A and B are shown apart, each in its own frame.
Chain A
Amino acid sequence: MLPDEGHHHSAFAAAVLDPERAVPEGVARANGRDPLEAFNVYRNNVVVSLAEALKSAFPVTSQLLGEGLQRALMADFARAHPPSSPIMSAYGAEFPHYLADHPATKARPFLADIARLERLKLDSYHAADAPVLDGSVLGRVPPEALAVGRLVPHPAMHLLSSAFPTASIFGLEQAAIAGQDVDAARSQINMATGEHALVTRPLFDVVVQPIALGAASFLRACGDGADFTGAVDAALEADPAFDLQQTLALALSSGSFSGFDPQLET
């Protein structure tokens, strides 16, 4: 008895994602041969293409997992969490959470933060185009106007605060992928220190760098809509050693802002 049309894709989709299920009724091969191996081509295609999309979205995480674990986890994740949208550059939003919970990676909790950082890097790469605020423009704003105005965050600017030295590990492993010898640098990483990572896109390539607590608090406050004074206050509260000049220089050169809004009252 052949399945009713309405259920055809459901059975096919479920069977593609679950190797334990039987080949759906009605699926056949020429000359009455067994369709299983032919159907398995679709199973393989789906899981492999999803796993490869994950690998290219998470290259540093993949490097840290090692090939065997990376293959196993990404295939498992793909079967359990297929994408909800055809935009594959957005695929894998739940992957950091999956790593945080998975028995094979729970003991290395920094991996989830590395994966989060890679998602932010992708978000930055595809973010809307906007001008980058230039230091000379900001330098012409009188102090009293600066104080009540608002630095507008660039759409490609993102922050990640981590309990681990995530930005440093990320930079190291990127260098390793590029073929550099990082053994000495690896041994110097202190896993007990937290870090704040700034992700920006000053031109078209994404830059990831560790920044100080005060700088991260300042930028986060700007991102939350605080005016200049409010952002400075938030930074000083988080870190009394907050250095405004240094932070502004870093923020401007990294392309963290797209403009300055004087917020004039009308």
Chain B
Amino acid sequence: MMNTLPMITDAQAGVGFKPQHANAILKGDHEISWFEVHPENYMGEGGMPHRLLTELRQHYGLSLHGVGLSIGGQTPLNKEHLARLAALNARYEPDLFSEHLAWSSHDEGYLNDLLPLPYTQATLDLVCDHIDEVQEAIGRPILLENPSTYVVFEQSQMSETNFLAAIARRTGCGLLLDVNNVFVSATNHQTSAEVYLAAFPVHHVGEIHLAGHASVTLSDGAELLIDAHDRAVSDPVWALYEALIGRIGPRPTLVEWDNDVPDFPILAHEAAQAQAVLRRHDPLLGRRHVA
């Protein structure tokens, strides 16, 4: 059976789909060719959410970006949640499916945030087991996203880039490289974002995220960046992104703006900037899918 759904290609920039933008998007008066959603927002049985997503999927490429699996967690994966993810994957046939290197659930319940884990042999084995289980349950490879972190762990035995490389090697999953997270974490840990990106196993990268961050000054005078997703992408992050694409070539790039969400044209403008970078470095000169 031929797949006639629109597909995401390497040299395309997308944005997160927000229901308040549905009319503007479906009018079609823009250049965005794909959208990303959190599958957790589409786990009801029916109504408006599925109606919108079904309509969207007819015309645009789709990426599912999970937040609730707790892949880095020490509790078993939630089987019902996995089943719901598998059902959404079968129903909407997304081109990209991703989750986070983080945990969110423990005995207390689901904490609705992306919490950090140390990088040790034990956590590596646990994460790989979970990813094997996810890929088996959903029936496709997933992309794992590098986290924004505010603390480090004394227990860690390896670098985050080595940890991610080992996971990709062992499980066959891909990686989602969030350039804003790289910048936020590097600033917070007083390390170099450029060094991190140079060490990143880029051959596994299937998608890139860009987003905005907030800044607070701690009582000891140090700056802490917060992965707020509430504003435009910052200049240093654009610079890192341009250098990255220049090095590795185009990858599907998503602009994340989840809080204080602006009107659609502003969001589309951010994506257009990413699109321009992708075009500049595309050997095929930005071959685009016509929706």
Residues on A lying within 8 angstroms of B by beta carbon are 2, 5-6, 8-10, 12-14, 16-17, 26-31, 33-35, 37-39, 41-42, 45-46, 49-50, 53, 81-89, 124-130, 155-156, 201, 204-205
Asked if B190 contacts A9 (CB within 8 A), the reply is no
Asked if A86 contacts B47 (CB within 8 A), the reply is no
Residues on B lying within 8 angstroms of A by beta carbon are 40-41, 43-51, 67-70, 73-75, 78, 80-81, 103-113, 115, 117-118, 120, 122-123, 150-155, 188-191, 218-220, 222, 224, 226
Of B46, B81, B120, B191, which is in contact with the most chain A CB atoms at under 10 Å from its CB? Answer: B46
Closest to B156 in A: A26
Q: How far is the CB of B58 from chain A (nearest CB, A)?
A: 17
Other than the known A26-B118, A86-B104, A128-B46, what 4 A-B pairs have Cβ atoms closer than 8 Å? A12-B106, A13-B106, A16-B111, A42-B150
Complexed CA–CA distance, A35 and B218 (Å)? 10
Contacts of B220 in A (CB 8 A): 33-34
A83/B48 contact (C-beta < 8 A), A5-B155, A8-B74, A33-B222 known: no
Contact among B46, B48, B81, B150 for A86, CB-based, below 8 A: B81
- 11 interchain pairs (CB within 8 A)? A8-B117, A10-B74, A26-B118, A28-B154, A31-B190, A38-B224, A46-B113, A87-B43, A89-B41, A125-B47, A126-B46
Complexed CA–CA distance, A250 and B224 (Å)? 57
Asked if A201 contacts B110 (CB within 8 A), the reply is no
Q: How far is the CB of B100 from chain A (nearest CB, A)?
A: 12
Asked if A127 contacts B106 (CB within 8 A), the reply is no
Asked if B115 contacts A87 (CB within 8 A), the reply is no
Contacts of A201 in B (CB 8 A): 47
Asked if B112 contacts A53 (CB within 8 A), the reply is yes
Of A29, A31, A84, A128, which is in contact with the most chain B CB atoms at under 10 Å from its CB? Answer: A29
Closest to B80 in A: A85
A126/B49 contact (C-beta < 8 A), A42-B150, A86-B68 known: yes
A86/B110 contact (C-beta < 8 A), A8-B74, A125-B44 known: yes
Asked if A126 contacts B154 (CB within 8 A), the reply is no
Complexed CA–CA distance, A192 and B167 (Å)? 63
Asked if A39 contacts B150 (CB within 8 A), the reply is yes
Contact among A5, A16, A34, A204 for B123, CB-based, below 8 A: A5
Asked if B47 contacts A46 (CB within 8 A), the reply is no
Complexed CA–CA distance, A234 and B86 (Å)? 44
Contact among A34, A35, A83, A156 for B47, CB-based, below 8 A: A156
Complexed CA–CA distance, A134 and B70 (Å)? 45
A37/B110 contact (C-beta < 8 A), A5-B155, A89-B44, A126-B49 known: no
Asked if B81 contacts A85 (CB within 8 A), the reply is yes
Complexed CA–CA distance, A126 and B190 (Å)? 45
Asked if A82 contacts B113 (CB within 8 A), the reply is no
Complexed CA–CA distance, A86 and B220 (Å)? 36
Complexed CA–CA distance, A128 and B49 (Å)? 11
Asked if B226 contacts A41 (CB within 8 A), the reply is yes
Q: How far is the CB of B165 from chain A (nearest CB, A)?
A: 21
Asked if B44 contacts A88 (CB within 8 A), the reply is no
Asked if B152 contacts A42 (CB within 8 A), the reply is no
Complexed CA–CA distance, A14 and B106 (Å)? 9
Contacts of A84 in B (CB 8 A): 109-110
Asked if A126 contacts B44 (CB within 8 A), the reply is yes
Asked if A83 contacts B152 (CB within 8 A), the reply is no
Complexed CA–CA distance, A33 and B275 (Å)? 40
Asked if A9 contacts B151 (CB within 8 A), the reply is no
Q: How far is the CB of A134 from chain B (nearest CB, A)?
A: 19
Complexed CA–CA distance, A50 and B155 (Å)? 29
Q: How far is the CB of B29 from chain A (nearest CB, A)?
A: 23
Complexed CA–CA distance, A155 and B50 (Å)? 15
Complexed CA–CA distance, A8 and B153 (Å)? 10
Asked if B106 contacts A10 (CB within 8 A), the reply is yes
Contact among B81, B151, B155, B191 for A39, CB-based, below 8 A: B151
Q: How far is the CB of A266 from chain B (nearest CB, A)?
A: 30
Asked if B152 contacts A46 (CB within 8 A), the reply is no
Asked if A82 contacts B153 (CB within 8 A), the reply is no
Of A16, A45, A124, which is in contact with the most chain B CB atoms at under 10 Å from its CB? Answer: A45
Asked if A13 contacts B107 (CB within 8 A), the reply is yes
Closest to A34 in B: B220
Contacts of A26 in B (CB 8 A): 118, 153-155
